[in-house]
Amino acid sequence: MYTAAYWIEHLQLQQHVEGGWYCEVYKAAQAINLHGNKQERSAATHIYFLLQQQEFSALHRIASDELWHFYAGTALTVYEITVEGELIEHILGNDPANNEQHFCVIKAGSWFGAKTTGEGGYALVGCTVAPGFDFADFELAERANLLNLYPQYRQLIEMLTR
């Protein structure tokens, strides 16, 4: 049984601005034109991402779809507020009897964040973004703005913003 500290050291993870730990492990050599405005992006990127039980991934959004893959640890819930304002809770983990799945997709433009939901200390996942991730496309949520847009999700927004 591995610990969060083991994975942080073994995978050389660094702290992420949204919370948790990460390391980019893949960036496609092919570049594509993003949104027809002559911004080039890698065709795809992939990171390892780890959240410890006391940490959370703050609500944020990006300009591309993000594919989440579960690897190890306890269950993780990825909370998604879609462009249409629907709340979807994706539960990643190894126990299908508890409605856990190994994979989910967060659509481009959705607000999303994550938190471990099981016992076990950490969750290790992978995140693939296509077109590839670039911090220029990353927007960290401001609590007051999201509360104005989605007052029905107050508890979630307060839990997943700083």
Q: Both tokens of residue 78?
A: 């990825």
Q: What is the pLDDT of residues 42-69, one digit of tens each?
A: 999 999 999 999 999 999 999 999 999 9
Q: What angle is formed at CA 49 by the lines to CA 125 and CA 135, rounded to 5 degrees?
A: 130
Residues 44, 18, 16, 127: is their CA dihedral positive or negative? Answer: negative
Q: How do residues 1-13 score in pLDDT, each as one tens digit?
A: 899 999 999 999 9
pLDDT tens-place string over residues 19-28 = 999 999 999 9
Average pLDDT over residues 66-94: 97
pLDDT at position 151, please?
98
Domains of the chain and CATH, by start = 1-27+40-125 (2.60.120.10)
User: On the CB side of 120, how many CA atoms lie within 13 Å of its CA?
Assistant: 18
Label residue 33 by pLDDT band (50, 70, 90).
confident
Whole-model pTM: value is 0.94
Asked if pLDDT for residue 120 goes beyond 80, the answer is no
